[in-house]
Amino acid sequence: HAGAVKLSDVAHGDAQSDDYRILTGLASLDESLSLHTGEVTLLSGPTGYGKSSLATQIATNASRRGEGVLYIQLEDKASKLAMRVACSMRDIDSRKLTSGTASVDERQSFADAKAELNALPFDIIDNDEMTAIGVSGAVARAKLAAYQRGLHLRLVVIDYLQLVNGKRLVSERDTREMEVSAVSRAMVRLSLRDRVAVLVLSQLNADGEVRESRGALQHAANWIDLKLIRQSQGRASGDPLGMQLR
C-alpha cells in the first residue's frame, strides 16, 4: 500500500514526520480540507446529518491506503459499527442482513467485506464510559500495535466528544460545559503529543455551536460543519457532500 510504513523507516524519521497529511479519499473534502498529524479536526452537525457515516468513510479510505486508524466508538457497539463499515464497503443494505432477507450473493459479499476489514489497519473499540485518560491509553496501545505491524497510527476518530468522560480533568464544582472544554483541550494535546490526526465528532446545539463546549475546539481545529455545508449547497435534506452517507 502506498501509505504503509516499514519499521526501518522509523530510524530515518520518515514515519514520524511532524506534518503528515491524510487524504480523506473524498475529492470534495480533499480539495478544501487537510487532515494533518498533530492537529484536531472537528466534524459537527445535528443528529441525523451523517457524522458517523462520513467519519467511517474517511477512516476506511485511510486504512485502505495503509494508514493506521483507531476508531473510538462511545455511543454504540464496535461490532455494530464494523457491520456498518463492511456493508458500506460493498454497498449492502445492512437492514437486509439483520432482517434475514439478504440474498446469497449479498451475504457472500458481506463476508468478503468483513474479511477485507479484518485485514485492514482499522481498529474499533467501544466503551460508553471512556475517560479522556482512557482515550490517551487507547491511543498509546494502538500506536504500539501499529508499530508491531510495521505501520504507524495516523488517524484517531472520537465518536463523539460529549460522551468522553472528563470528570478527572476538572473539579467537582466545575460545570458540564467546563468538563467538555477540558476534554476538547485534552484531544488537542493528544494530537500534538502522539503526532496523530484526531477527528472529533460533535453534536451542535440550537445555536449551531458545539454543544456544551463554547467553541473550545472551533478555535483550535479544522472544522467540517455538515449543517453549514448543507445550507450553502441549498440542501434541505439528504446527503450534504454528495457521498451517499448512511
Question: pTM (2 decimals)?
Answer: 0.84
- So what's the pLDDT on residue 205? 63
Mean pLDDT, range 50-78, rounded to an integer: 95
Distance CA 177, CA 182 (A): 9
pLDDT in tens, 185-232: 999 999 999 999 999 999 876 555 655 554 556 555 688 888 888 777
pLDDT in tens, 109-151: 999 999 999 999 999 999 988 999 999 999 999 999 999 999 9
Closest CA to 56 of 36, 31, 73, 42: 73
- So what's the pLDDT on residue 12? 33
Mean pLDDT, range 52-67, rounded to an integer: 96
- So what's the pLDDT on residue 4? 39
Considering 30-34, 182-186, 213-217, the range whose residues carry the highest mean pLDDT is 182-186
Whether residue 157 is predicted with pLDDT greater than 70 in this model: the reply is yes
- So what's the pLDDT on residue 15? 47
* Percent of the chain surpassing pLDDT 90: 58
